[in-house]
Amino acid sequence: MTLRPDDTQKAVRDGARGEAAALAFGLLERYAEAVGAERLLAIAGAHIDGCLYHGQVSLDFVRRFVDLGGRVAVPTTLNVGSIDLIHPEHFRGEAGLRRDGEALMHAHEALGCLPTFTCAPYQTIFRPRFGEQIAWGESNAIVFANSVIGARTERYGDFVDLACALTGLAPATGLHLAENRGAGVVFDLVDAPEDWDRNLLAVAVGAVVGSRTGERIPAITGLPGDLTEADLKALGATAASAGSVALFHAVGLTPEAPDLESALRGRTDIEREPVTGSELRAAVDRLSQVAPGTPITAVSLGTPHYSEAEFSTLMNLIAGPRAKVPIYVNTSRDIVEKIEKNGWLSDLASGGVSLVVDTCTYLGPVMAEAAGPMMTNSGKWAWYAPGNLGIDVAFGSLADCIASARAGRFVRA
């Protein structure tokens, strides 16, 4: 497959927008050819998942563009980094990692990226609009933008997302194109557990759909009509962890799926697969490595980053006895500013909540407690924390998490 850039794009390749943009174009061109694109399209924004220090390669890559005087061509938000720059004292790792992690975050700012440092850019003022072409990294952000907003992005890895931002271009392929956005399978919820709260149900559905859908875009029917944006965010984040889901259609809930027909984009030969209550219960059980009753050392919420609405829900739950173990909540510096204005910070602190910004508790040495088990209501955190932190996870609803924090052990309703 050969890429056919138009004249404006050829000019970028030939250095009209500087050496950094030309180098980025070269990478983008080879990537586009690898994924089978024949042309590039203009994007309105980018979200960069390159701030997380994964080793020397992370810094070497960005510095190459900084050294060439590169600047992003479109509004570009930044994903979480390795360090909470607002509360650097929380960082418990070695000095070298802290230095390199901070350098990486600042190097991205030097390219003109916005210091949002959040995995939930859809909760900032740079939230894209329906139908807008964007190039986003970070799996939960990608699935949210495509599914809940109806913006259009492929699954970008770090490096390519920055190449898109530096050129203002993306390969015209996959989910950028309307004809590729129809569902390829329908999951029908037949008997969702009645006693579950909505968020727990969303995580369970995300886990099942993520593991069963494979490369197909899933449509989901039978979800409660009152699922909130926070619930859909949890569903997508879990589905993108358990599988490679970049777009789902929640029929009756998400913008490209007012009804099943729209979600299928006219196709009638789509397979329907039932999802049973017992399968959902089993999926939730698999997210825990320990049994109820086991002592826990901490609770972690906010993966993806907590929104103002989610803090509001938490505020109602933490009024009461103080937690015996710390409750960490990951969020962005922007959201902290909002909840500070709301006057919520002191109640959160007295309820035992520690805020973590710019980063996430499962990414590195942020929490004072090094050993688990730790509890979460996040399907994504439950998926990755055992591998990343080497701990056992207890998984439950938000109410379970707060009850567990107060009891100092894993409590499940």
- Closer CB to other proteins, residue 79 or residue 354? 79
Exposure b/e, 70-98, CB count within 10 A at least 16 = b: bbbbbbbbbbbbbbbbebeebbeeeeebb
Letters for 327-346 (x = contact with other proteins by CB under 8 A, - = none) are --------------------
94 in contact with other proteins (CB under 8 A): no
Quick check: bond before 304 cis, omega within 30?
Answer: yes
124 in contact with other proteins (CB under 8 A): no
Q: Which two tokens stand for residue 261?
A: 């027909």
214 in contact with other proteins (CB under 8 A): yes
* Interface pick for other proteins out of 60, 194, 195, 269 (rule CB under 8 A): 60
* Interface pick for other proteins out of 4, 10, 64, 322 (rule CB under 8 A): 64
- Min CB(188)–other proteins separation in Å: 24
Letters for 283-302 (x = contact with other proteins by CB under 8 A, - = none) are ---x--x-------------
- Closer CB to other proteins, residue 36 or residue 321? 36
- Among candidates 254, 389, 380, 251, which has minimal Cα distance to 306? 380
Backbone φ, ψ for residue 96 (5° rounding): -60, -40
262 in contact with other proteins (CB under 8 A): no
Judged by CB under 8 A, the chain residues 12 through 41 that form the site for other proteins are 27, 30-31, 34-36
Stretch that binds other proteins, among 7-15, 69-77, 133-141, 305-313 (CB under 8 A): 133-141
**Cα 361 vs. chain centroid, distance in angstroms?**
14
387 in contact with other proteins (CB under 8 A): yes
- Closer CB to other proteins, residue 279 or residue 347? 279
Helix (H) or strand (E) holding 308: helix 308-318
Report whether 261 contacts 136 (CB < 8 A).
Answer: no
310 in contact with other proteins (CB under 8 A): no
Phi-psi region of 386 (alpha: psi -120 to 50; beta: other; left: phi over 0): alpha
Q: Which residues contact 173 (CB under 8 A, 6 or more apart)?
A: 32, 35, 36, 37, 154, 180
* Interface pick for other proteins out of 4, 10, 19, 57 (rule CB under 8 A): 57
Report whether 289 contacts 372 (CB < 8 A).
Answer: no
d(CA 19, CA 13): 9
55 in contact with other proteins (CB under 8 A): yes
- Min CB(101)–other proteins separation in Å: 13
358 in contact with other proteins (CB under 8 A): no
Which residue's structure tokens are 């005087």?
A: 69
Q: What is the CA radius of gyration of the chain?
A: 21
According to DSSP, the β-strands at 374-376 and 298-306 are: parallel
Stretch that binds other proteins, among 86-94, 155-163, 248-256, 302-310 (CB under 8 A): 155-163
Stretch that binds other proteins, among 121-129, 132-140, 189-197, 303-311 (CB under 8 A): 132-140
Contact footprint for other proteins (CB under 8 A): 27, 30-31, 34-36, 49-50, 52, 54-58, 60-61, 64, 137-139, 142, 154-161, 214-215, 240-241, 243-244, 286, 289, 383-384, 386-388
